């Protein structure tokens, strides 16, 4: 293979998103190849022994490393500004591998209450079985995080902006709290991606991704990633992957790698569409409230433009008439996809109270701010006028 193309931190974001990580083979291919191979061969018994002992760097087996997967890892690490990246089979296995790599029995996680549903399940049902407890605090309330710290707390975990209400936390200040107590800040950066927000630059220690969402961008593959420094991610989290095996397939890595090439363009287009749609929704009589970070009426609006570059591609809104009204809007759509997925070129609509947050009791939903009339839209890349027309049909009847 030829020397790595050196598009280091000096190059711009778009350049690294397109160029970083590809080691061209002697075939001279222009597009990154898919290394569909489970194992790698050695020139001699001595070389095999040296690779296994670690004296010689190089591929052994695709559960450990694979060139296509490594290209994706290096590209994402560069975009997030991290030293190391480990790709995983899914976003959930990225969170699992991080917890397995960094926690032990008796440790405690302090997490924001608004959290992806499966993450809550992983913490409350599975990690709890192994003696790792999780406590929850309201995402944006820094005093609550501070007050909930104790000697056993090892990880602070959050998603910002939150799903579905797009609440945000000041990551610089949260990192400061974490580090003052000797803890690590882990941020699930699924909603923003590094095109809009780089948590490591703001003081976070680890970034988690569900690559399934915006990194792919067209709803094709399930995957995930963990980004951070060489010790925590390159050794501890990588060690879990290598041993336990929730690795990313080379084909999926290739899809995500190509997805990264257009990430910035797409995130800015999703954001432009969401901003337009949020403004339009706020003028509709049947809409009671719009939740979008890019709007001046959002409680943490000041973080947009500083911590995160735009308001992002996801918004939520309360409609008149509770669940009946919300379902009417959903069922009147003809183009928008009724699905809980997000981060796709296709716009999607979800009724959180009866789907993603359906397992919560009515009281828990009230506390979480998930009203019966709440709808979440992950704005895709279609013409905004068509998205508006599709929503207008249901809204006009309320
Ligand atoms: C989807 C999602 C996950 C889980 O990712 P999978 O790839 O589905 O395992 C984690 N966090 C957030 C915020 C998500 O949206």
216 lines ligand 1 (CB under 6 A): no
CB burial of 82-106 (b: ≥16 within 10 Å; e: otherwise) equals bebbbbbbbbbbbbbbbbbbbbeee
Quick one: pLDDT at residue 369?
Answer: 86
User: Does ligand 1 lie within 6 Å of residue 91's CB atom?
Assistant: yes
Domain 13-261, CATH class in plain words: alpha beta
Ligand 1 test: best mutation among 88, 89, 90, 92, most atoms within 8 Å of CB?
92
pLDDT digits (tens, 9 = 90+) for 226-268: 999 999 999 999 999 999 999 999 999 999 999 999 999 999 9
Nearest-angstrom CA–CA distance, 13 and 261: 10
Bridge partners of 228, per DSSP, are: 84
Quote the ligand 1 centre to 93 CA distance (angstroms). 9
- Which ligand 1 atom is at minimum distance from the Cα of 342? 15
pLDDT in tens, 281-301: 999 999 999 999 999 999 999
- Does the beta carbon of 160 lie inside 6 Å of ligand 1? no
**pLDDT (average), residues 268-279:** 98
Reported confidence tier of residue 7, pLDDT bands at 50, 70, 90? low
Backbone dihedral region for residue 106 (phi beyond 0: left; psi -120 to 50: alpha; all else: beta)? left
Whole-number Å distance, alpha carbon 153 to ligand 1 midpoint, is: 24
> Average pLDDT of 111-140?
95
Q: What is the largest CA-CA distance in the chain?
A: 75
> Using 50, 70 and 90 to split pLDDT, how confident is the model at 1?
very low
pLDDT at site 4: 44
**How many angstroms does the Cα of residue 96 sit away from the middle of ligand 1?**
12
Domains 13-261 and 264-395 equal at CATH topology level: no
Q: Residue 241, by phi and psi: left (phi above 0), alpha (psi -120 to 50) or beta?
A: alpha
Instruction: Please give the number of the atom of ligand 1 that sits closest to the Cα of 224.
Output: 7
Give yes or no for residue 116 CB within 6 A of ligand 1.
yes
* Pocket of ligand 1 contains residue 50 by CB under 6 Å: no
Contact between residue 278 and residue 304 where contact means Cβ atoms under 8 Å apart = no
Distance between CA atoms of 381 and 270, rounded to whole angstroms? Answer: 6
Question: If you take atom 11 of ligand 1, which residue's CA is the nearest one?
Answer: 116
Does the pTM exceed 0.85?
yes
Query: Does ligand 1 have an atom closer than 6 angstroms to the CB of 298?
Result: no
pLDDT of residue 8: 67
CA distance 391 to 281: 9
Q: Is 212 in the pocket of ligand 1 (CB under 6 A)?
A: yes
**Atom 5, ligand 1: which residue's CA is nearest?**
91
SS3 readout for the chain: CCCCCCCCCCCCHHHHHHHCCCCCCCCCCCCCCCCCCCECCCCCHHHHHHHHHCCCCCCCECCCCCHHHHHHHHHHHHHHCCCEEEEECCHHHHHHHHHHHHCCCCCEEEEECCCCHHHHHHHHHHHHHCCCEEEEECCCCHHHHHHHCCCCEEEEEEECCCCCCCCCCCHHHHHHHHHHCCCEEEEECCCCHHHHCCCCCCCCCEEEEECCCCCCCCCCCCCEEEEECHHHHHHHHHHHHHHHCCECCHHHHHHHHHHHHCHHHHHHHHHHHHHHHHHHHCCCCCEEEEECCCCCCCCCHHHECCCECCCCCEEEEEECCHHHHHHHHHHHCCCCEECCCCCCCCCEEECHHHCCCCCCCHHHHHHHCCCCCEEEEECCCCCHHHHHHHHHHHHCCC
Mean residue pLDDT of the chain comes to 95
Any atom of ligand 1 within 6 Å of the Cβ of 344: no
Query: Residue 397 C-alpha to ligand 1 middle, in angstroms?
Result: 34
Q: Residue 85 C-alpha to ligand 1 middle, in angstroms? A: 17
CATH class of the domain whose range is 264-395: alpha beta
Identify which of 98, 112, 116 to mutate to test ligand 1's pocket (most ligand atoms within 8 A of the CB): 116
Q: Is the CB of 236 under 6 A from ligand 1?
A: no
* Ligand 1 near 90 CB (within 6 A): yes
Contacts for 279 with CB less than 8 Å, ≥ 6 apart: 295
Do the beta carbons of residue 230 and residue 83 sit within 8 Å?
Answer: yes
Query: What would the pLDDT profile of 368-395 be if each residue is shown by its tens digit?
Result: 889 999 999 999 999 999 999 999 999 9
Nearest to 211 by CA among 256, 245, 166, 266: 256
Sheet holding 337-338, edge to edge: 287-291, 314-319, 374-378, 348-350, 337-338
Domain limits, the chain:
13-261, 264-395
Question: Residue of the nearest CA to atom 2 in ligand 1?
Answer: 210
| Alpha-carbon gap, residue 235 to 231, rounded angstroms | 5
């Amino acid at each position: 293979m030829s020397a790595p193309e050196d598009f280091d931190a000096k190059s711009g974001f778009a350049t690294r998103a397109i160029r970083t990580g590809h080691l061209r083979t002697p075939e001279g291919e222009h597009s990154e190849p898919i290394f569909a191979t489970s194992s790698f061969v050695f020139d001699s018994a001595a070389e095999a022994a040296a690779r296994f002992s670690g004296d010689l760097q190089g591929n052994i087996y695709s559960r450990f490393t694979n060139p296509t997967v490594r290209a994706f890892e290096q590209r994402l690490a560069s975009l997030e500004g991290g030293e190391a990246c480990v790709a995983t089979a899914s976003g959930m296995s990225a969170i699992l591998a991080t917890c397995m790599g960094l926690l032990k029995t008796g440790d405690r996680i302090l997490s924001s209450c608004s959290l992806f549903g499966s993450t809550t399940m992983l913490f409350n049902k599975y990690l709890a079985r192994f003696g790792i407890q999780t406590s929850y605090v309201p995402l944006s309330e820094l005093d609550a995080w501070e007050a909930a710290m104790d000697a056993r707390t090892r990880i602070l975990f959050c998603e910002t902006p939150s799903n579905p209400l797009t609440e945000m936390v000041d990551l610089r200040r949260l990192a400061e709290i974490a580090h003052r107590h000797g803890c690590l800040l882990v941020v699930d950066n699924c909603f923003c991606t590094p095109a809009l927000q780089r948590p490591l630059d703001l003081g976070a220690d680890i970034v988690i991704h569900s690559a399934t969402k915006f990194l792919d961008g067209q709803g094709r593959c399930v995957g995930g990633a963990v980004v951070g420094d060489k010790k925590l991610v390159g050794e501890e989290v990588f060690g879990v992957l290598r041993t336990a095996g929730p690795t990313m397939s080379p084909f999926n890595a290739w899809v995500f790698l190509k997805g990264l090439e257009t990430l910035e363009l797409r995130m800015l287009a999703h954001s432009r569409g969401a901003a337009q749609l949020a403004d339009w929704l706020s003028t509709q009589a049947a809409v009671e409230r719009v939740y979008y970070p890019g709007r001046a009426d959002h409680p943490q609006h000041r973080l947009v433009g500083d911590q995160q570059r735009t308001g992002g591609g996801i918004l939520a809104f309360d409609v008149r008439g509770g669940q009946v009204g919300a379902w009417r809007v959903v069922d009147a759509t003809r183009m928008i996809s009724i699905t809980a997925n997000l981060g796709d070129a296709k716009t999607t609509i979800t009724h959180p109270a009866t789907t993603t947050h359906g397992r919560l009791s009515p009281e828990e939903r009230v506390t979480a701010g998930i009203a019966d009339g709440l709808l979440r839209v992950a704005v895709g890349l279609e013409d905004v006028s068509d998205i508006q027309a599709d929503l207008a049909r249901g809204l006009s009847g309320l």
